[in-house]
Structure 1
C-alpha cells in the first residue's frame, strides 16, 4: 500500500514537497526535483528553509490555513505553489508544497491574447465602412462578407455565409479567379444600382489556392475619379522633374556620338579620351556650334566620375548677381525672397561629379575671382553663409572667345586662365572639316528621326554639294537646324534642294570661301537694289566667319551696333532659327513697319 502511494506521488505532474511538524523534508518527488532543481538525497531530513527560503509551509503549520497559487520564479521558470496543511482528525501532522510549472501556460495565454487582439483588429478592418469585402473558400462558398456589401445587396450575414457565391451574386467573377489564380485590379462592377472598381485576388497557403478575395477599391466612383486625377497630376509632375533632373545631373552624349575623320577632330577626340581618365580641368575652345558641350558630356561619360552628377551652366545667360547664387548657392535669409533653408549651388550639386561652365569668357572679373578661389581651395561659400562647404568637382569650361587675347587686354584673369588651361581642346569649325559632312549628316538625321518621328534616309547629291559649298557660320548647330527644317517640310526619303531655305540655295556657292576678298560676282540681270542686297549679305556672312560666329565682334568689325547687325542678319535669313536670343533681340528679327532696307543710321550705336 505504501508503494502504491509513493507511485501515485511520483506520477503526479506537479512537484510535491512535504515537511513534518519540525519543518524537515520528509518527501520530495521527481517533479519537485526537476522544477526546483533539487536532489532528493540532498534535501530529505533537512529544513525546507535551507533550500526553499520563500516557502510558506511554516505559516501553514501554525495557522492550518492553505495558501494557493503563490507565484515563485526559479531558474527562468514561472511557478505557482500551493502550500497546504496535512491533518488527521483535526491534528496537523505537517505541510506540503505543491509546485506547478505554468511557464508554458503563460506563453500560450499570451499568444491567445495576441490572437484575440489580432482577430478584433481584423474584424474592424473587414467592417470598414469605406470598402466592401467578400471571401470565398475553395468550394466557391462565401465564408466572409462585411456589412458594406450586405447593405448593398439587401442581405444579412446569415443569408449569405455558407452559400455559393453565384446564389448571392450571379455575375461574380471570383470563381474564375479561384480557378485561374490570376489577380484582377480595377475591374468595373455593378451592384445594388451602383458602379464600383473592384480587385479580385487568389488566397494561397503553401502554394495552394484555398480561396479568393473580392474588394472594392473606392467607396464610390467620384472618389475613384478624384484619385485618377491626382495620379495623372503626380505622373505629370514626376515626368517633369525626371526630365529636369536628367538635364542637370546626367550626361547625354558619349564619344560614340562624335563622328568624323578630320585629322584635327580625331586629334581632339584622342586627347579628350586621355584627359577623361584624369581629374584635370579641361578648356574647350571653338566657334559656337562646333560641339563643345557634346565633348564635355563625352568626357564626363568616359571618366571615373561617370556615376556622379553632370551639372551644366551657361555663364553668359545670367546676370552676375544671379550667376553667383546659381554657382555657389545661398543661405537662408541671405536676401529678400531667399528660399527657406537656403539653396545649394551648382558646385554643391556637382559634388563627386563634373561641372561644365559654358561661355566662361563672358564671366565678369569679380566672378572670375570667386571662381578661382573655388577651384584652388575646393570649397564654396554660400551667399550669406557662415562657413565654407567642401566640394570635389571636376571643372570643364568652354568658350568661343580668345581667352589669351582677353588676358592681354585685362578682360580675363591670368591666374584663372592658367587654372582652366591645363588641358586645351580646340575644335575645328565645320567649314574646315567638309570631309566629315556626310557622317555628321547621317548622325544628325538618326537623332532627328527619333525625336521628330520621321523616316528621312539622307540628302540628295545636289543638297550635299550645296552643303559642301556653304560656309556654315553656325557650324553643326546650324546644320542640325537646317536639316530639321527640311525634314519637317519634306515628304520624301531624301532631302532635296527645294526643301532648303531660299537663302541657303542661293548662297551655297558664294559661301565656299574659295574666292579672295573683293572677288564678288553677281548676275548681269540683277538690278542695283538686288545687287546691293546680295553684296550686303555676303559682307555679313564673311564678317561672321571671321569672328567665328561672335555677333558682337562682327558688329564691331562692321562698325555698326549689335542690334542693327541682328536686324540685317534676320533680313537675310542668316540667323539660325533656334539661336538662343533674348526676347529683346528676337523682336529685332523682322524690320519694323516702314523701315527702309538701306536707310538706317547705324553707325555710332543708338545714335
Structure 2
C-alpha cells in the first residue's frame, strides 16, 4: 500500500500554495518512482514514472538528501539528462518508521528561481524537513486507524505522536486509550492510568457520542464545570471478534463562537427549516424541492432580499450532489476585467501578476457539485457565450490554456432583474436565457406573504437576541400593525435590518415605534397606509416608583401625544392632525409636550 496516495490531494494543495509563495516548483514521487504531486512543469507529469537511474531513485536508494544547485554528477547519470529543463533542485527522502516511502523535491527552472534557491538554501531545507514531519504525522494517523482494525497493542505510542487530542472508547463508552495531548487540552489533572476504564461522561458532561463520518463538528464540552470549545470528529472502527471502538479526535478552538454560528447556519440551510406558511412561499418551496431531485439547470427569480441564495443552497443540500462542493459567485460584485479568470481560471503566466502555478476558476472548483451564479443579469455579454458553451458541452477553457477541461456541474442562477427585458435591450443572450431557464422558480416578495411577516419577525428576533445574549424581545401591537401594513421593498433582508436596529436600542421587553429606524417610519407616512389608532404601546409606558397619580397622568398624556406624532409625523401638519384628533388646540399640544 502507498500511504502517500492516501494524502495525495492534500499534498497537492500544499505544494501549490508553497510553490506560489516561494516561486519554485515542487514534485513528490512515491517509492515506486511514480510522481503523485506536481506543480508548474511537473503538473502535466503527474502519474508518470521517473527513470530508474534518476535523481529521485538515487535519493530513495541512498536514503539521503541531494542538493544540486547546479547540474552535477547525480544529474549526469539520469537517462533524461539531455531533455531535463531543471536548473537546480533540493531533494529529500520521505521516511516513516525507518522506511523510505517516497521523495520530495524543490526545483528551479530559470535563473531567478535558481538564485533564490542558492540564497535561501537553508530556509528551503528547513521547509522540506517540516513538510516531511507533517507527512509522517499524517501517515502515522492512517497507520493507527489500520492497526486499530487489527486490534494491535501499539496504539498508545502512535496516538501520543499525533498533534490532536485522541480518545478511544469501547462499546460501553469506557476510555481504552487517551493520548497525553487530550489529557492536557482537557485540563483533567489526571494521569493516563487514572482515566483508562472510566466512562467518558464522567469527565465530559453532555458529550454526543455518534459517528460523524470523518466530518468535523463544533461543540462545547463541559469539563470540571467549565465549558471547553472544541472542533472534533468521531469515527466508529470495527475490531476483531465483532467488537468496535469509537475514536474521538479533537482540537481546542479559539474564537469558536463565529465558527460555530457559520457551521450551524450552513447545516440549517434546507427546506424543512424555512420560515413561512403562506401559499406563495409554500408553492415555491414545493417546486424547488421537486427540482432538487433532478439535475436540471434552475433559474431563481425574485426581488432583492427574498432569499434566492437560501433557496439555491437548500436545493444543493437536498440534491444528489449534496456531498459535492457548493460554489457561489456573485456576478455583480467582481470587476469585469477579473470576471473571466474568476469564472474559468487561468494557466500559469496567462497575464502579469498571475499565480505562478495557475488557478482553478469557480466552474472548475464546482466539479461534481453545484455552481450558483447570483445576479446572473450582470454577467458581461462577452462571457455569456463562454458560459453557454459550459452549459452545452460541460467543458471549459482556462485563460491562457491550450486544452479543454471536462466539468460535471449543476448550474443554479438567480436574478432580481427581468432577463427577457434585458434580452430585448441586447444586454442578455436569448440562447443563454433558454439554457438557464429550464426550471424557473419565482420567489414571492414579503408584501405578498402577509401571513409570514410576523412569523419571520419572531424567528429573526429570537436569533438576534440569542446572538447578542439578550432577553427575548416582543413586538408591541402598534409595531405589529405597522409591519403588516408596510410594503417591505427590501423583503426579508430589510425586515432583519429593521429588527436589528430595534433590538439595539430597545432596553425593555417590547419593541415599540421609537425603536424603529427613522426611514422606516417616514416610509410608512409616505405610503399613507391608513394605520389605525386603536393600538398604543402601553407596554413601554414607564410607571416609576414614588410618583403621584397627577404626575403619572401628566406623563401619560405626553406619552400618548408622542405615540400619535409617530403616526402622523413630527411636522407642523402632523401636530395639527394630532391636536385635531385629541380635540385640543395646537398651543395646548405644545404646552403638554413641553411639560416636565
- Pick the TM interval, shorter chain: 0.3 to 0.5
- Please report the TM-score for the alignment, with normalisation by the length of structure 2: 0.46
Larger of the two Rg values belongs to structure: 1
- Please report the TM-score for the alignment, with normalisation by the length of structure 1: 0.46
